[in-house]
Amino acid sequence: MTDDNGNVLTDIAPGAVRRIHLVGVAGTGMGSFAGLLKAAGYEVTGSDQNVYPPMSDMLREWGIEVMTPYAPSNLDRARPDLVIIGNVIRRVNEEATAVRERGIPQMSFPAAFGSLVIGDKHSVVVTGTHGKTTTSALMAHVLADAGTDPTFLVGGVLANYGGNYRHGHGPHVVVEGDEYDTAYFDKGPKFMHYRARTALLTSVEFDHADIYRDLPHYESAYERFAASLPADGLLLACAAYPNAVAIARRAAISRVATYAAKGEADYLARNVRFGPEGARFAIDGPGGESGELLLPMSGLHNVENAVGVYAVARALGLSAEQVRAGFASFRGIKRRQEIRGEPAGVLVLDDFAHHPTAVRETIDAIRLRYPDRRLWAVFEPRSNTSRRNIHQEEYAHAFAGAARASIRIPEPHDKVPVEEQLDIGKVVQALNASGIEADADRDVDVLVRRVVEGARAGDVLLVMSNGSFEGLIPKVIAGLEGRGR
């Protein structure tokens, strides 16, 4: 694929470039990719409009020069052999325009990752609507703990490694396969660039309404992905989502196997039990039973993710004992049921959940882990899809298990017409009718005061947002600590 100036590349030999410049470097994915390229030996620079902590601190620590704001002069300073364009960059961006005008070779982040990082290594791609970050992180850790020295790039910070990437010299690359679009010059899904040989499809439910028209359009992206695996590849599909299994079997030429936490599947969890230490279970598979496994996480959805990881790991040659050790030593991911503190006896948890299925499963998981504590769920519908009334009914039932629920009313969004907006008032009304004490407000500080005044010792406060929630968690913690004093 080329643009009008012929300088857009979809493949490049790793030895063909030395100096790489990333436009839009301060994003979580782009910043981490910059760090990975630096660790791989490239000379790396970047530019962005604004750069804030923690990414600004991380880039500085990695020795990556960042130039602000966007400007053609940044290219004079960087003198790149290759420019990587982030998906937040629009065609009219002045630095992106200068790249085209000067004929400097440019690639999208996923295309560059496929060429410069994956190359001819064995690519393990974790994709699906839900659970990509947790599952890919667990997969990466199990391989690393077993001594296979993998490379990985995932969407969350792994507590075991203090980051979300690792540059290894082993045969495997683990990557979280996002279905979102790639760059202004490539509107296809990111995961099509990741050269999957082994893949794990966690789920398929409609999401990203700003990119996909409807569920069939969304499913078509996964059909393309399934069809891209080679004949000697392996695609694991979660049996809890029949459409995911149907897509895999209809589209893939690779071998297809299924996994699940309950029901019927090729790899199936048995004797699942939850406690304060996490989940204990065994897995039945083609090679027999695994023996008891401990996963220091809660929720049936995380057990399901672990079953998929187990199936992939065994297919890659790891023993059940190696997988067992990897599970037990996994310390989790930031913003996935992450404990942020327990001020005044209130346990504050931070989670990325925003789709109604993720909200429901996360609340279920917390109830299993803390069954005797009152649960207060605080939710921000921030993503393009969660702001819409596509899932109006689902949100009305997603908070079952919470004693209280507080929801932020999102600010108007120019991409979401008024008639398509999620009606928070109706969600609150439905929750109250179901016995959950619910409220909502547009002002984050009002929600903070409500929680600080209403939370009591022994409560679990579960905050769910795919953004910063305007600092709600540190404000709540400070308020609770002040109340305690």
Q: What is the pLDDT of residue 227?
A: 96
User: Tell me: the pLDDT tens digits for 445-474?
Assistant: 999 999 999 999 999 999 999 888 999 999
User: Tell me: the pLDDT tens digits for 166-214?
Assistant: 999 999 999 999 888 889 998 889 999 999 999 999 999 888 777 888 9
Domain boundaries, the chain: 14-113, 120-328, 338-484
120-328 fold: UDP-N-acetylmuramoyl-L-alanine:D-glutamate ligase (3.40.1190)
User: What would the CATH number be for the domain defined by 14-113?
Assistant: 3.40.50.720
Q: What is the mean pLDDT of residues 219-242?
A: 96
Helical axes 356-369 vs 300-315, angle rounded to 10°: 100
Give every CB contact of residue 330 below 8 A, 6+ residues apart in sequence: 137, 138, 141, 142, 160, 295, 296, 297
Q: What is the pLDDT of residue 391?
A: 82
Structure tokens at 386: 């969660």
User: Tell me: the pLDDT tens digits for 260-275?
Assistant: 999 999 999 999 999 8
Q: What is the C-alpha to C-alpha distance for residues 56 and 54, in angstroms, rounded to an integer?
A: 6
User: Tell me: the pLDDT tens digits for 46-78?
Assistant: 999 988 777 888 899 999 999 999 999 999 999
**338-484: which CATH number, 3.40.109.10, 3.40.50.620, 3.40.50.1820, 3.90.190.20?**
3.90.190.20
| Mean pLDDT, rounded, of the chain | 92
Judged against a pLDDT cut of 90, whether residue 390 lies above it is answered with no
61-75, 250-264, 383-397: least confidently modelled range = 383-397
Cα pseudo-dihedral 207, 183, 336, 40, rounded to 10: 150
Q: What is the mean pLDDT of residues 103-126?
A: 96
Q: What is the C-alpha to C-alpha distance for residues 188 and 202, in angstroms, rounded to an integer?
A: 20
